Amino acid sequence: MAIVKRITTTAQLALSNIRSMNTVASLRRISAKSLSEKILAEGDSPNPSYAIIDVRDEDFIGGHIKGCVNIPTLQLDAMMPTLVRKLKDTKTVVFHCALSQQRGPSAALKYLREKDELLKTLGKESEGTVEQEVLVLDRGFVGWQQTYGDDERLTEGYVKDIWDNY
């Protein structure tokens, strides 16, 4: 009976781990319009409810979303534990790259998995943590700049010529 119970418990644990696994398909997206509204609504708040993580590498030149944090893809693995701890009380975390097809979604997955591991490690200490929404910017910075590139309230360092043929 003990062997059957242990197998059942192990199977249940494995099933619960599978259910909690995040995939690219399960990632939620946010439109440029929704993100711009969030940024404008909070203005220059010293403690915004969101964080924008831009994982572009050398393609970061030519503009970025105001207030974003640039963590190039090659630095992500080393920075991820620190990022998860730093953003633990942030309600919404948005990841993006140029198109949000590869680097942005991959970074969001790494973040979610690192966060899950941290919460497992903390156990009961994690109770009371902020419910966090992790999103990917739909169409990435390319989509963003098409609408908001010239809007200095939302975009910094924008150089239109760089993005004309992207």
Kindly tell me the number of DSSP H helices and DSSP E strands found in the chain. 6, 7
CATH superfamily of 24-163: Rhodanese-like domain (3.40.250.10)
Tell me the average pLDDT across 105-122.
91
User: What pLDDT score does 24 carry?
Assistant: 82
Sheet containing 133-137: give its strands across: 28-30, 133-137, 92-96, 50-54, 69-70
Task: Report d(CA 46, CA 151) in Å as an integer.
Answer: 21
User: What pLDDT score does 65 carry?
Assistant: 98
User: What pLDDT score does 32 carry?
Assistant: 99
Task: Report d(CA 60, CA 51) in Å as an integer.
Answer: 17
Report the catalytic residues.
Answer: 97
Task: Report d(CA 78, CA 80) in Å as an integer.
Answer: 6
Task: Report d(CA 118, CA 101) in Å as an integer.
Answer: 26
